[in-house]
């Protein structure tokens, strides 16, 4: 029996998170620095943001490597699906109020 190489089943991660999440983090940090200007406060804020968001994303990704895809798919569903009876559904049994 031949062993399966880990690269065939292991997910591709950038710095411990999914590539889409890492690109979004980098885009937000660069946008913060470029739009707000290159100041000490902006650089500190971008560093704190990148550190906190990346640490949280890496912590969540450690449990499930595809969590971002699963979360985005869950947003397409509704919170509540009202019940619908079928046309041929049996009518409910009526119980007497006084036994």
What is the per-residue pLDDT across 69-86, written as a single tens digit (0 to 9) for each?
Answer: 999 998 988 888 777 777
Range name among 32-46, 62-76, 80-94 with the lowest pLDDT average:
80-94
pTM for this model (two decimals): 0.70
Residue 25 lies in a domain: yes
Distance of CA 25 to the CA centre of its chain: 14
The pLDDT of residue 78 is 82
The answer as to whether 56 is a domain residue is yes
Q: Is residue 48 part of a domain?
A: yes
Query: What is the span of the domain harbouring residue 16?
Result: 11-73
| Residue-by-residue DSSP string for 7-75 | GGTSPP-BTTB-HHHHHHHHHHHHHHHHHH-S-HHHHHHHHHHHHHHHHHHHHHHHH-TTHHHHHHHHT
Judge whether 23 lies within some domain: yes
Tell me how many domains the chain contains: 1
pLDDT greater than 80 at residue 99: no
**Residue 68 is assigned to a structural domain of this protein:** yes
Least confident of 26-40, 48-62, 74-88: 74-88
């Amino acid at each position: 029996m031949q062993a399966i190489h880990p690269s065939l089943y292991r997910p591709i991660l950038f710095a411990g998170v999914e590539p889409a999440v890492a690109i979004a983090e980098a885009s937000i940090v660069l946008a913060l620095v470029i739009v707000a200007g290159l100041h000490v406060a902006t650089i500190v804020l971008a560093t704190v943001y990148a550190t906190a968001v990346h640490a949280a994303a890496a912590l969540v990704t450690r449990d499930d490597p595809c969590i971002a895809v699963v979360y985005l798919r869950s947003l397409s569903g509704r919170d509540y699906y009202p019940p619908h009876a079928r046309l041929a559904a049996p009518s409910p049994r009526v119980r007497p109020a006084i036994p």
